[in-house]
Amino acid sequence: MKWLFAGLIFVSLVFGVLTGRVDAVSQAAIEQCGAAVKLSLSLLGTICFWSGIMEIASVSQFTKILSKLFRPLTKILFKGLDATSSALDAICMNMSANFLGLGNAATPLGITAMQKLQQISSNKQVASDHMITFVVLNTCSIQLIPTTIAALRLNAGSKSPMEILPAVLVTSVISVTCALIAAKTCNRLFPVKAGC
């Protein structure tokens, strides 16, 4: 990413010099720095709010109830993984957080799940089939409430930031389905020699 951003800055400066509009480039850079800080602060409030809601859901055992609903699905996707393992618990909790649109709250759970999956893997240097499936599932998660996108839309002046909900549900279901099919197909074509 650093090379991408450095390249964008370099290209902007070059075109600014070539077109004689270096002042416009520098003005845009200053204005957008301020806009980035403003956006970060507005997102911070939303993230804090939903993280608080997630904490309440966790304390009230709602996420555990949601995790139990994901159990049948995880047994199919992670065949061979012990149903009582802490790795499966972390995977279910991560799926619950992603389902509620709490990507930031899901991150620690995702890291925990990957650590648990690595612990039970026989080859610590190679990502196991379960680890690959989990990464795909985590990246293309189904979101019931797209909180971050809604916050961005609200910040941009949208009067109904949640009107994208049907489109988000449809596209996230399609992306998860396609990603899992691709991961399982690659698993069969190029199986991991060692690991769970």
pLDDT of amino acid 54: 66
Q: Which domain holds residue 40?
A: 25-189
pLDDT band at 94 (very low <50, low <70, confident <90, very high): confident
**Average pLDDT rounded to a whole number, residues 3-13:** 85
Query: Does residue 10 carry a pLDDT above 50?
Result: yes
pLDDT digits 0-9 by tens, 43-84: 777 677 766 776 787 678 776 777 678 778 888 888 888 777
Query: Does residue 195 carry a pLDDT above 50?
Result: no
Q: Measuring CA to CA, how many Å separate 41 from each of 28, 34, 36, 72?
A: 20, 11, 9, 39
Average pLDDT, the chain: 80
Domains identified in the chain, total number: 1
Tell me if 97 is assigned to some domain.
yes
pLDDT of amino acid 63: 66
Tell me if 195 is assigned to some domain.
no
pLDDT of amino acid 192: 65
Q: Measuring CA to CA, how many Å separate 132 from each of 104, 146, 185?
A: 20, 24, 12
pLDDT of amino acid 165: 84
Query: Does residue 193 carry a pLDDT above 70?
Result: no
Tell me if 6 is assigned to some domain.
no
Tell me if 3 is assigned to some domain.
no
Tell me if 58 is assigned to some domain.
yes
Tell me if 1 is assigned to some domain.
no
pLDDT of amino acid 105: 67
Phi, psi at 142, each rounded to 5°: -80, 130
| Calpha distance 73→81 (Å, rounded) | 12
Low-confidence winner among 34-48, 54-68, 114-128 (lowest mean pLDDT): 54-68
Q: Work out the percent of the chain whose per-residue pLDDT is above 70.
A: 90
Tell me if 70 is assigned to some domain.
yes
Tell me if 17 is assigned to some domain.
no
